[in-house]
Amino acid sequence: MKQSASCAQPATGRLSIIGSGPGSPAHLTDAARSAIADADILVGYGPYIDQLGDLAQTKEVLTSGMTREIDRCRLAIERARHGNRVALISGGDAGIYGMAGLVFELLAAEGDTRLAVEVIPGLSALQAAASRLGAPLMHDTAIISLSDLLTPWDTIRTRLAAAAAADFVIALYNPRSTRRTSQLEEARRLCLLHRPAATPVGIVRNACRPDEEVEVTTLGELLSCTVDMSTLVIIGNSSTFVDGAGRMVTPRGYENKREFAGTGQSTETAAPEPPSRTASPAALMVVGTASDVGKSAITAGLCRLLLRRGLRVAPFKSQNMALNAAVTPEGGEIGRAQASQAVACRIPPHTDMNPILLKPTTDTGSQVIVQGTAVGVMAVAEYDRYKPVAWEKVQESLERLQQRSDFLVMEGAGSIAEINLKDRDIANLAVARLAGNAPAILVADIERGGVFAQVVGSIELLEPWERDLIKGVVINRFRGDPAILEPGLKFIEQRCGIPVLGVVPWLRDLALPAEDSLALPPTDDGNRPADRLCVGVLRLPRISNFTDFEPLIREPDLRLCYLERPEQLAGLDLVILPGSKATMADLAWLRDRGFDRALNSFGGMILGVCGGYQMLGELLQDPDGVESLAATATGLGLLPVHTVLLPEKTTRLTTASPAAGAALAAPGWHQPVQGYEIHAGISRIIGAAEPFLRLDHEADGAVSADGRIAGSYLHGLFDDPPLREALLNRLRRAKGLPERNAAPPPPDPYDRLADHLASHLDIPRLLAICGLA
Ligand code: SAH
């Protein structure tokens, strides 16, 4: 090493590292041409030398294979050291994935600073390809090679994700070879997390060569185009467009200058605004510092508030994780919260309001429901791979909803600062951006404590583009004197430069449907008052749609509790087995805890709803592995019913009227009630029991001969008064309590909620943020 460094070098020896351009003599610079003419030895990869044509003649030419770059550079250095004038030919520009860096690395390793080396720039494939497409590189561009031969794929992936998130135009070198095909697919997926499928993409093969091919496509269609190692791919940013002549153009930002519009006045000093897709997004996003900080309620309240101003408002939450689903009129499932927000907007719920619903079946997997329909159970990694598809659906639903509405109040999911998930986010600020950079307000929950850290910490963890979207902070669930918060609120405003729009006091007994089991009341205190109906619901680990039982809470003589241990059955008048997202697993849980024996000796009434009904039967079969736990399971044997789980899921709104068993379980019930079904299975009575209900035209459920044990697939069976009243009066008679009429339905809570927000938030400022002032 040291040896060659100390070697005196003949003064004439020189190494020119020459960028030979994309591959045609016309695109070779004059400087490159003279350097080649001056050289006595050409070193390079065969095809690049061939592209020089006549220029290479009369020279000594040393070529080596494509992957022998180090050999070529060493050879060039050695020959220059021996007094030759060497031209090292590198395609495109020698300093862009070319030979220049390698030569300098080799020289540095040897400590050689004396060899005369010059770099002659060449026209890079990047510029060549861009010129063929139009002007796609007019704004900040990230250049990324997809070749993982020299760079670990993890590093490439991280850079792709960052560039995609930061809205760079992305130029992909070495995009695909015969053996390396997945890299381009993954690059596309990562981009789709942040950009619409319609984003323009330019593909240029053999730019400036005789067999040049140019194609302008979209990110969605990218994989159906020919892409190989002679291709450069350019992915547009959020403002790139394709003009009428098919040219791909990324605006520089001149449209923000007044003279652009033809006023003739130049505003040199105006900083270019980041490009946004639409001038006014007509949407607001409510995001949180954590889950369950009250986003859903604030969203619902704002929906009603804006509705009262005469706008057609709709709620939107791209992705929801919850086991409480609602059924839409078209027979799809969405999160309960969006269904109630639709009520706040006085419109029917629609699957577009919550295109992705994840119903956790285990700690690591969920049933994935897309635009209302279950597409399968996926583990986390699998869902990550599926996300680009999910994201396309989110865009589709958002677009449709925007078309049908004047204004969207969107809700984020969980915390906005989950930095480990940021690059795959399809639920939070990526959606605000998708909706045309909708402003967002950040909700923090003071009840949990640490509210200033919640707010400042969340904002500090945001990317700059995300922070730019946060236009206000709301402190929720406050009890006490807001004056004491003043200094803290000032601090937030100063530190983050974001206004606090208000402090929303805790609103007592606001009857909004609960979203997930985080909202379940604390468990049973064992108190069984003799003058009340005592009803217990089994707190299954995968309990779903426990909103079924919320109407019971409103009955003044009823006490509802959630049960975790068999001893808690004592003194109850009614035990309910609720719906479950994992019936087989919850059945096993119930057995483990000894609930099977306790229920067998329990003397009060037992009601099973949906999954709970299936558990009450004798046998559950899962021939297709729908829940993939076991092919069969023995039920509790309290009803003579056999259930088969089916891959096909039933989700529909249903009208229920009484069948023969109703006279036993709920005597006196005659009027039909409305409810809904969500289940993957059918149950058949195989012994002495009567069907409970008639759902549209088919029989449903079962009731034992003494009317004490009943089951049904109907959700929402307590929502309408007639069935609730009849069933509870049967229990009241058995306990010697006076009969009662069903409690009236609660008043619409959304006006109260909207009033509450109106008196505690700076509404003029909020409207200004929304562009509605
Ligand atoms: N130094 C070269 C890049 C070498 S890396 C430059 O500055 O252009 C090789 C990659 O460049 C190829 O896999 C391809 O992605 C791209 N490339 C090189 N020449 C090209 C051309 N004429 N047309 C399209 N892409 C080209």
Alpha helix ranges (H) inside 346-405:
380-404
Q: Is the pLDDT of residue 264 over 80?
A: no
- Output the CA 194–ligand 1 centroid distance in Å: 26
pLDDT of residue 263: 43
Taking the centre of ligand 1 as the mean of its atom positions, its distance from the CA of residue 133, in whole angstroms, is 15
Residue whose CA is at the smallest distance from ligand 1 atom 9: 174
Q: How many Å apart are CA 498 and CA 382, to the nearest integer?
A: 38
CATH of the domain spanning 12-123: 3.40.1010.10
Residue 229, both tokens: 């190692």
Torsion on CA atoms 108, 109, 114, 115, rounded to nearest 10:
-90
Identical fold between 282-505 and 520-735 = yes
For 24-66, the pLDDT digits (tens) are 889 999 999 999 999 999 999 988 888 888 888 888 888 877 6
Q: Is the pLDDT of residue 10 over 90?
A: no
The 10 Å Cβ neighbour count of residue 245 is 6
Phi and psi, residue 384, nearest 5°: -60, -40
User: How many A from CA of 313 to the centre of ligand 1?
Assistant: 50
Does 22 contact ligand 1 (Cβ within 6 A)? yes
| Nearest to 474, CA basis, from 286, 239, 699, 196 | 286
Of 549, 547, 628, 612, the closest CA to residue 578 belongs to: 612
Q: Nearest C-alpha to atom 6 of ligand 1 is from which residue?
A: 92
With contact defined as beta carbons under 8 Å apart, do 38 and 18 qualify? no
Handedness of CA 55, 61, 65, 68 (dihedral sign): negative
Answer yes or no: is pLDDT of 458 > 90. Answer: yes
Instruction: Kindly report which listed range (150-154, 264-268, 495-499, 550-554) carries the lowest average pLDDT score.
Output: 264-268
Residue 322: the pLDDT is 87
Angle at 621 (CA atoms; ends 620, 623), nearest 5 degrees: 165
**Atom of ligand 1 at shortest distance to CA of 173?**
15
Does 204 contact ligand 1 (Cβ within 6 A)?
Answer: yes
- What kind and span of H or E run contains 486? helix 486-496
Query: Does ligand 1 come within 6 angstroms of the Cβ of 137?
Result: no
Closest CA relative to residue 428, chosen from 665, 190, 206, 193: 193
Catalytic pick among 610, 679, 756, 770: 610
* Rounded average pLDDT over 160-170: 92
Nearest residue to 83 via CA among 40, 43, 146, 112: 40
Cβ atoms of 442 and 492 within 8 Å: the answer is no
Q: Is 173 in the pocket of ligand 1 (CB under 6 A)?
A: yes
Q: Are 646 and 718 in contact (CB under 8 A)?
A: no
625 Cα–ligand 1 center, Å? 50
Using the atom order of ligand 1, give the atom closest to the CA of residue 209.
22
The CB of 229 under 6 Å from ligand 1? The reply is yes
Q: For residues 89 and 21, give the distance between their C-alpha atoms in angstroms, rounded to a whole number.
A: 10
Dihedral angle over CA of 125, 128, 133, 135, nearest 10: 110
Q: Which residues pair with 169 in a beta bridge?
A: 141
Q: Mean pLDDT throughout 624-632?
A: 85
- Domains of the chain, residue spans: 12-123, 126-249, 282-505, 520-735
> Is 345 a catalytic site residue?
no
Cα separation, 752 vs 747, in Å, equals 9
Residue 206 CB–ligand 1 contact under 6 Å:
yes
- Burial of residue 103 (CB within 10 Å: 0-12, 13-18, 19+) is buried
Supply the angle between the helices 182-192 and 380-404 in degrees, to the nearest 10: 40
397-422: average pLDDT:
93
Pocket of ligand 1 contains residue 207 by CB under 6 Å: yes
The residue whose two tokens read 């809904």 is 676
Which residue intervals of 177-238 are DSSP H helices?
Answer: 182-192
What percent of the chain lies above the pLDDT cut of 90? Answer: 72
Q: 560: closest CA among 529, 591, 585, 586?
A: 529
Ligand 1 within 6 A of CB of 124: yes
Q: Is 230 in the pocket of ligand 1 (CB under 6 A)?
A: yes
Task: Say what the pLDDT of residue 270 is.
Answer: 36
d(CA 714, CA 723): 12
Strand partners, 682: 644
**What tens digit of pLDDT does each residue of 703-737 get?**
999 999 999 999 999 998 999 999 999 999 999 99
C-alpha span between 754 and 313 (Å, rounded): 14
Which ligand 1 atom is nearest residue 229's CA?
Answer: 13
Name the E strands within 446-487.
470-478
pLDDT reported for residue 93: 97
Rounded distance from Cα 108 to ligand 1 centre (Å)? 26
User: pTM higher than 0.85, yes or no?
Assistant: no
Q: What share of the chain is helix, strand, coil (3-state, %, to 5)?
A: 35, 25, 40
Q: Is the CB of 275 under 6 A from ligand 1?
A: no
Rounded Cα distance, 300 and 314, in Å:
10
Nearest to 617 by CA among 677, 685, 663: 685
How many Å lie between the centroid of ligand 1 and the Cα of residue 764?
55
Burial tier of 274 (Cβ tally within 10 Å: 0-12, 13-18, 19+)? middle
Point out the catalytic residue in the list 350, 642, 715, 756. Answer: 715
Give me the pLDDT at residue 736, please. Answer: 96
Give yes or no for residue 98 CB within 6 A of ligand 1. Answer: yes
147: Cβ below 6 Å to ligand 1?
Answer: no
From 27, 137, 141, 173, give the residue whose CB has the most ligand 1 atoms within 8 Å, as the site to mutate.
173
The CA distance from 666 to 670, in Å, is 10
CA distances from 275 to 198, 250, 391 (A): 16, 10, 22
| Closest ligand 1 atom number to CA of residue 204 | 24
Superfamily of domain 126-249: Tetrapyrrole methylase, C-terminal domain (3.30.950.10)
For ligand 1, is residue 200 a contact (CB within 6 Å)? no
Q: 235 alpha carbon to ligand 1 midpoint, in Å?
A: 16
197-251: pLDDT as tens digits: 889 999 999 999 999 999 999 998 999 999 999 999 999 998 999 998 999 999 9
pLDDT on residue 256: 66
- Residue 300 contacts residue 750 (beta carbons within 8 Å): yes
- d(CA 159, ligand 1 centre) in Å: 20
Q: Is the CB of 91 under 6 A from ligand 1?
A: yes
CB of 97 sitting under 6 A from ligand 1: yes
Residue 21 is given by DSSP the state: B
**Atom 2 (ligand 1) nearest CA:** 92
Which of 277-286, 530-539, 644-653 comes out lowest in average pLDDT? 277-286
Are the C-beta atoms of residues 477 and 447 closer than 8 Å to each other?
yes
Domain 282-505 has CATH 3.40.50.300: yes
Give burial (CB, 10 Å; 0-12/13-18/19+) of 129.
Answer: buried
The pLDDT value recorded for residue 242 is 92
Residue 107 near residue 76, CB atoms below 8 Å = no
Backbone phi and psi for residue 382, each to the nearest 5 degrees, phi listed first = -65, -40
Beta strand residue intervals within 72-199, DSSP E:
85-90, 117-120, 134-135, 141-145, 169-173
Ranges of beta strands (E only) in 126-206 are 134-135, 141-145, 169-173, 200-205
The residue whose CA is least distant from atom 5 of ligand 1 is 97
Region for residue 757 given its phi and psi (left: phi exceeds 0; alpha: psi -120 to 50; beta: otherwise): alpha
* CA 520 / ligand 1 centre spacing (Å): 59
Picking from 89, 107, 106, the residue whose alpha carbon sits closest to that of residue 98 is 89
Residue 288 burial (C-beta neighbours within 10 Å; 0-12, 13-18, 19+)? buried
What pLDDT does residue 514 have?
57
**Ligand 1 pocket member 102 (CB < 6 A):** no
Q: Tell me if 429 sits within 8 A of 469, measured CB to CB.
A: yes
Site to probe by mutation for ligand 1, drawn from 72, 90, 93, 97 as the one with most ligand atoms within 8 Å of Cβ, is 97
Query: Which residues does 501 contact at the CB level (< 8 Å), separation at least 6?
Result: 441, 472, 473, 474, 761, 762, 765, 766
| Predicted pLDDT of residue 522 | 64
Judge whether 760 counts as a catalytic residue.
Answer: no
- Superfamily classification of domain 520-735: Class I glutamine amidotransferase (GATase) domain (3.40.50.880)
What is the DSSP secondary structure assignment for residue 315, as one 8-state letter? E
Is the CB of residue 223 less than 8 Å from the CB of residue 188?
Answer: yes
Model confidence at 628: pLDDT above 90: no
Residue 2: pLDDT over 50: no
Residue written as token pair 């791979």:
385
In tens, the pLDDT along 493-526 reads 988 889 999 999 988 766 665 555 445 666 688 8
> Would the CB of 752 count as within 6 Å of ligand 1?
no
Mean pLDDT is lowest, of 252-261, 329-338, 360-369, 484-493, for 252-261
When the pLDDT of each residue in the chain is averaged and rounded to a whole number, the result is 90
Mutation test residue for ligand 1: of 232, 233, 234, 235, the one with most atoms within 8 Å of CB: 232
Mutate to test the pocket of ligand 1, among 141, 176, 231, 234 (most ligand atoms within 8 A of CB): 231
The tokens for 367 are 């049933």
The dihedral built from the CA positions of residue 352, 353, 355 and 358, taken in this order, carries a sign that is negative
Q: How confident is the model at residue 363 (pLDDT cuts 50, 70, 90)?
A: confident
Residues 448, 341: contact at Cβ < 8 Å?
no
Alpha-carbon distance of 174 to 606, in angstroms, equals 66
| C-alpha torsion angle, residues 349, 355, 356, 361 (rounded to 10) | 40
Residue scoring higher pLDDT (562 or 423) = 562
pLDDT of residue 329: 86
Is the CB–ligand 1 distance for residue 282 below 6 Å? no
φ, ψ dihedrals at 723, nearest 5°: -70, -40
What's the gap in Å between 189 CA and the centre of ligand 1? 23
Nearest-atom index, ligand 1, CA of 174: 13
Evaluate whether 317 touches 401 at the Cβ level (below 8 Å): no
Predicted local confidence at residue 711, as pLDDT: 98
Question: What is the 49 CA–ligand 1 centroid distance (Å)?
Answer: 15
Alpha carbons within 13 angstroms on the beta-carbon side of residue 329 total 5
Residue 4 above 50 pLDDT?
no
